[in-house]
Amino acid sequence: MPSKKRAIYPGSFDPITNGHLDILDRSLILFPEVTIIVAGTGHKSPLFTVEERIQLIRDVTADRKGVKVDHWPGLIMEYAREHDVAAVIRGLRAASDFEYEFMMASMNKNINAAVETVFMMTAQNLYFVSSSMIKELFHYGGDVSPYVPPLVAERLKEKIPLRRANPVRKS
């Protein structure tokens, strides 16, 4: 039987955002130990390497008790089985997330019936934030500081060249 104290929070976290941290912080109220799993990115092309994402997450969560960080390239339910995990934390931003997450949770339950999926709504002020949107906003010179930890903003400066829109010329 899985430990009632362990949960995992899987995702690509490319990069970790304040929305992710909001879900993590609320998960820590329910579970004294939450392991953030840097999972495979599937069809996405990540900006940060797995090692960079792990280090960023460790750095921005260093002051949070009960947080661990790991990487897993395979099925999350296999990780849960091997590490005695009771729950998988999933964040929902908008209604469009629900259908995909519901199907994923259903498949996961078939793979490992002992593990529950816990859905958490992202805070209202962050529901529109995604890692992809952060990278695009930053690329075009937008201010990402309300949406990511300061260290993430610094690392984005190292990775993404700023591209400003061409000014409109008057004829």
Q: Is 93 a catalytic residue?
A: yes
Q: Considering the candidates 12, 27, 130, 131, report the single residue annotated as catalytic.
A: 131
Q: Considering the candidates 44, 58, 157, 163, report the single residue annotated as catalytic.
A: 44
Q: Is 20 a catalytic residue?
A: yes
Q: Is 131 a catalytic residue?
A: yes
Q: Is 109 a catalytic residue?
A: no
Q: Considering the candidates 5, 68, 83, 93, report the single residue annotated as catalytic.
A: 93
Helix (H) / strand (E) containing 102: helix 95-111
What sign has the CA pseudo-torsion 68, 97, 78, 53? Answer: negative
Q: Considering the candidates 20, 53, 90, 155, report the single residue annotated as catalytic.
A: 20
For residues 135 and 115, give the distance between their C-alpha atoms in angstroms, rounded to a whole number. 33
For residues 133 and 131, give the distance between their C-alpha atoms in angstroms, rounded to a whole number. 5
For residues 123 and 18, give the distance between their C-alpha atoms in angstroms, rounded to a whole number. 10
Please list the active-site residues: 20, 44, 93, 131
